[in-house]
Each structure stands twice: as structure tokens, then as C-alpha cells.
């Protein structure tokens, strides 16, 4: 029996990257694997996998290494490393690794497993130096909508979450748009590449381009990248006669952000963060010019949601103005203000009194700032 390290782990080793998940394959049947490895056990029904020493071991497709490699998603993942160090690969794998090309391993790669369209988009985001082969988007477009709908929501959501943690999270959306694969699971964004992000000189590209740019600017913070994805969803629903302006898009964007998060079965904090980003990003961008009451409400809402750092990072990237430092300064001021004992435990009255104290402190801070800037 031969055992192989396969797929992305081998790819990463060849690229000089630290491998993530380790995937193994073996020749022979699950029963023969268990017979040779006493601690192993077989799980699964339609797909039988062997668990051994904390890792999964899959039998080679049709018990053939050549057919197994040909049936994988991309040429650069169609790799198998023997325990002896001998490397087996798809005929184009090493060339595509050298040239930085994401190419389907076969004509049927995406048709055999439609979820691979989301994986290739995620890999494009994770490997900034790689480009799509000419036929890649064409084969993505050939996957029927019905096949995409049959993919479990959790599987699409997992690929998105992985993409949000990559160096270029916005590229995930751009590749799906190029392959016409947004329409089923990311329907809110299907038309985003055809809608201007706003009037000049503030914007000169489409909504999709703007979302991708902001996502890339906050790379390294997956939650902030998700908020960047959601913040301008309302622009996709702008009436045509109002373009290139997007009046009221922040309110229209809340429901699409919530629905997208729910559809993909994302964690609750992501659903809350997407809605918050859509509704508050415009006010947040005007933080220093707002009256104390409006300032306080935005600052306190974001703080109470536990989203301060990710939200203000997204606001900085969206507007191109560094407001996060001032937002942090003001939130720290508010956090150090406490109700006197006689005003505590009065329900709504306590909330209103605390807001008054917050507004007074922000007003004093604003006056002081103006005096410093214009003595």
C-alpha cells in the first residue's frame, strides 16, 4: 500500500509556503488500510474516509493515482508526494506553478463538483501572484445555476470565510463575477459590476470594484473585510434615474447584508456586523463634522456591538480619511463616564441621562479641538 500527501499541502511546499491542512490518499481499499493500521477507523457512507492519528486518509479514485490527479480541481493541486519523496503530478502542474496560473485540472473539474468555483475564487484571493487561465472563467460560466443551488450553504460560507482571511479578499468577488457565479449565492452582488459606485471625483469605478478595493485595503482582518463587502450593498438597488448618486443607500443596504449573511450560514457576529456596516458607514465617515449627539450614537452603537476596531478600519479604507484614531479617542472618553449613583437602575431614564453626559463630554472635546486648531 502506498500513502501520499496530496493537494494544496504539496502545492504550498513547492511554493515555499507553510502548508495548512494536510490531506492524504492511499492505494487500496479502506478495509486494507485499517488492516495495516490498527488504530485507524472508517467513517462515512457515500464517501468512505479513514481516520488515523488525527488525519483523514482517502482512497485514490478508482484506485489509480493518475485518475485521482486528473479528477482534482486545479492543475496546481493535482500533486501527490510519496513517503519516499517522489513527486507525482498533473502534466501541466509544475508549469502552472512556475507561471502562476490557476487552471482547471480537466474539462469537467467544475461540473463534477460545482463548489470548486468558490474554491478557485478563494485561491485567487490567497495567491495574489496567480492569474486565471483563459479557460477557467469559461468553465465556471458553464456550471448551471441549478448545480450551484445544490451546494450546501455551509460549504459556500466556509469558502467565503477563508477568502476574507486572505491577502486579497476582494479578488474573491472579482473572480466569481468574471465566471458569472455570483447570481445564486451572492445575488445581491450580481449586478454590482455594472453600477457606478458614485459620482466623480469620489468614485470612478463600479460598486463591485469599490467593494473589492475596500476589502483589499483591510486585508488581515476578516470581519472588517466582511463589513467592507456589505457596506455599499444598498447601492445595487439604487433606481436607475438617480445614478450615479445613491441617495439613502445606507438604509437600503441593511436587509441585503442580513439576508446574505443568513443565506451563507455565517456566524451571528458577521450578520450583525454586515448590517451595522451598511447602516452606519456614511455617518461614521462624517464623524468629525457631526453634532455631539449623532457622534455619540454612532460611536456608542459600534462600541456596544464589540465591533470598534474592525468597523473603524473599514471606515478609514472606505473614505480614505484616517478617522479610527479619533474614534478610539472619543470612545475611551465615553467609557470613562459613569452615572452617579442616584441615576442608576432607572431603565430608559438612566440611558437618556448617560447619553446627556456623553454628549456634554464630546461637546467639550470638540470645542477644545477647535480652539487648538484656530486659537
Predicted pLDDT at 375: 46
The secondary structure of 3-31 as a DSSP string is EEEETHHHHHHHTTPPP-S-EEEESS-HH
Per-residue model confidence as pLDDT tens digits over 228-285:
999 999 999 999 999 999 999 999 999 999 999 999 999 999 999 999 999 999 999 9
Per-residue model confidence as pLDDT tens digits over 138-196:
999 999 999 999 999 999 999 999 999 999 999 999 999 999 999 999 999 999 999 99
- 368: buried, middle or exposed (CB in 10 Å: 19+, 13-18, 0-12)? exposed
Q: Model-level pTM?
A: 0.91
Q: Which of 356, 355, 307 is nearest to 327 (CA)?
A: 307
Predicted pLDDT at 171: 98
Predicted pLDDT at 286: 94
Distance between CA atoms of residues 210 and 193, nearest Å? 9
Q: Residue 373's pLDDT band (boundaries 50, 70, 90)?
A: very low
54: left (phi over 0), alpha (psi -120 to 50) or beta: left
87 membership: H or E segment, kind and range? strand 87-89
CATH for the 1-97 domain, from 3.30.460.10, 3.40.50.1700, 3.40.50.300, 3.40.50.620: 3.30.460.10
Q: Which residue has the higher pLDDT, 46 or 186?
A: 186
In the predicted structure, residue 41 carries a pLDDT above the cut 60: yes
- Long-range contacts for 217-220 (Cβ within 8 Å, ≥24 apart)? 217/317, 218/310, 218/313, 218/314, 218/317, 219/166, 219/167, 219/168, 219/169
The secondary structure of 162-211 as a DSSP string is HHHTSS-THHHHHHHHHTT--TTTSGGGTTGGGSB-SSTTT--SBHHHHH
Distance between CA atoms of residues 330 and 310, nearest Å? 16
Quote the mean pLDDT of the chain.
Answer: 93
Give exposure, 248-268, as e/b (b: 16+ Cβ within 10 Å): ebbebbbebbbbbbebbebee
Distance between CA atoms of residues 277 and 224, nearest Å? 9
Q: Which residue has the higher pLDDT, 147 or 202?
A: 147
Which residues lie across from 102 on neighbouring strands? Answer: 132
- Strands 101-102 and 41-43 turn out to be unpaired
Q: How many CB atoms sit inside 10 A of residue 309's CB? A: 15
Per-residue model confidence as pLDDT tens digits over 286-337:
999 999 999 999 999 999 999 999 999 999 999 999 999 999 999 999 999 9
In the predicted structure, residue 35 carries a pLDDT above the cut 90: no
8 A C-beta contact, residue 276 and residue 305: yes
Predicted pLDDT at 213: 97
Cα separation values, 75 from 79, 355, 370, Å = 8, 59, 61
Q: What letter would DSSP give residue 60?
A: P
Distance between CA atoms of residues 173 and 160, nearest Å? 9
Amino acid at each position: 500500500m502506498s500513502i501520499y500527501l496530496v493537494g494544496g499541502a504539496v502545492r504550498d511546499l513547492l511554493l515555499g509556503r507553510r502548508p495548512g491542512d494536510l490531506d492524504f490518499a492511499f492505494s487500496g481499499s479502506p478495509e486494507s488500510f485499517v488492516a495495516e493500521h490498527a488504530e485507524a477507523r472508517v467513517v462515512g457512507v457515500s464517501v468512505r474516509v479513514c481516520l488515523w492519528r488525527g488525519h483523514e486518509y482517502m482512497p485514490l479514485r478508482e484506485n489509480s493515482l493518475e485518475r485521482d490527479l486528473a479528477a482534482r480541481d486545479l492543475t496546481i493541486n493535482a500533486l501527490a508526494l510519496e513517503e519516499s519523496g517522489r513527486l507525482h503530478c498533473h502534466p501541466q502542474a509544475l508549469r502552472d506553478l512556475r507561471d502562476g496560473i490557476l487552471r482547471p485540472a480537466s474539462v469537467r473539474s467544475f461540473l463534477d463538483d460545482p463548489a470548486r468555483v468558490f474554491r478557485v475564487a478563494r485561491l485567487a484571493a490567497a495567491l495574489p501572484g496567480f492569474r486565471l487561465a483563459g479557460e477557467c472563467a469559461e468553465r465556471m460560466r458553464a456550471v448551471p445555476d441549478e448545480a450551484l443551488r445544490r451546494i450546501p450553504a455551509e460549504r459556500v460560507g466556509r469558502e467565503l470565510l477563508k477568502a476574507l482571511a486572505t491577502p486579497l479578499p476582494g479578488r474573491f468577488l472579482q473572480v466569481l463575477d468574471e465566471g458569472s457565479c455570483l447570481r445564486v449565492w451572492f445575488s445581491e452582488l450580481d449586478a454590482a459590476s455594472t453600477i457606478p459606485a458614485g459620482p466623480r471625483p469620489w468614485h470612478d469605478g463600479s460598486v463591485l470594484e469599490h467593494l473589492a478595493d475596500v476589502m483589499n485595503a483591510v486585508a488581515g482582518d476578516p470581519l472588517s473585510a466582511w463589513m467592507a463587502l456589505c457596506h455599499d450593498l444598498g447601492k445595487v438597488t439604487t433606481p436607475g434615474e438617480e445614478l450615479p448618486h445613491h441617495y439613502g443607500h445606507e438604509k437600503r443596504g441593511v436587509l441585503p447584508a442580513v439576508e446574505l449573511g443568513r443565506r451563507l450560514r455565517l456566524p451571528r457576529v458577521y450578520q450583525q456586523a454586515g448590517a451595522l456596516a451598511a447602516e452606519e458607514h456614511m455617518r461614521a465617515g462624517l464623524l468629525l463634522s457631526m453634532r455631539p449627539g449623532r457622534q455619540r450614537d454612532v460611536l456608542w452603537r459600534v462600541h456596544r456591538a464589540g465591533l470598534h476596531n474592525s468597523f473603524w478600519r473599514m471606515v478609514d479604507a472606505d473614505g480614505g480619511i484616517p478617522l479610527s484614531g479619533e474614534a478610539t479617542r472619543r470612545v475611551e472618553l465615553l467609557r470613562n463616564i459613569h452615572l452617579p449613583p442616584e441615576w442608576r437602575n432607572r431603565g430608559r431614564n438612566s440611558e437618556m441621562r448617560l447619553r446627556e453626559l456623553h454628549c456634554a463630554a464630546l461637546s467639550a472635546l470638540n470645542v477644545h479641538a477647535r480652539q487648538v486648531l484656530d486659537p
